Amino acid sequence: MPSVKVPPVLRQHTGGATEVEAAGSNIGEVLGALVAEYPETKEQLFSTEGELNRFVNIYLNDEDVRVLDGLDTAVAESDTVMILPAMAGGAS
Partner 1 sequence: MAPEATEQFTVKEITPQEAFAELQEGKAKLIDTREPHEHAEARIEGSRLIPPALIADQIAGSAAKTDRVILQCRSGARSAAAAEVLMSLGYEDVVSMAGGILEWEAQGLPTASDSGLTPEQRDRYSRHTLLPEVGVEGQVKLLEAKVLLLGAGGLGAPTALYLAAAGIGKIGIVDDDVVDASNLQRQVIHNTSRVGQPKSSSARQTIEELNPDVEVVEYNFRLDADNILDVIEDYDIIVDGADNFPTRYLLNDASVRLKKPVVSASILSFDGQISTFVPYEGPCYRCLYPTPPPPELAPSCSANGVLGVMAGLMGMLQANEVMKLVLGIGEPLVGRLLLYDALGTRFTELKVRRDPECPICGPNAPEMPRSEMGKFPDYEAFCGGYTGS
Applying CB under 8 A, the residues found at the interface with partner 1 are 7-9, 18, 43-44, 53-57, 59, 62-64, 66-67, 82, 84-92
Nearer to partner 1, 30 or 65 (CB): 65
The distance of closest approach from Cβ of residue 43 to partner 1 in the complex, given in angstroms and rounded to an integer, is 7
The distance of closest approach from Cβ of residue 23 to partner 1 in the complex, given in angstroms and rounded to an integer, is 23
The distance of closest approach from Cβ of residue 88 to partner 1 in the complex, given in angstroms and rounded to an integer, is 5
- 22 residue type, one letter: A
- The answer to whether 21 and 8 have CB atoms below 8 angstroms apart is no
DSSP state of 92: -
The distance of closest approach from Cβ of residue 2 to partner 1 in the complex, given in angstroms and rounded to an integer, is 16
Nearer to partner 1, 63 or 72 (CB): 63
Nearer to partner 1, 76 or 88 (CB): 88
Closest to 41 (Cα-Cα) out of 3, 66, 12: 12
- The answer to whether 84 and 9 have CB atoms below 8 angstroms apart is no
What is the chain's alpha carbon radius of gyration, rounded to the nearest angstrom? 13
- 66 residue type, one letter: R
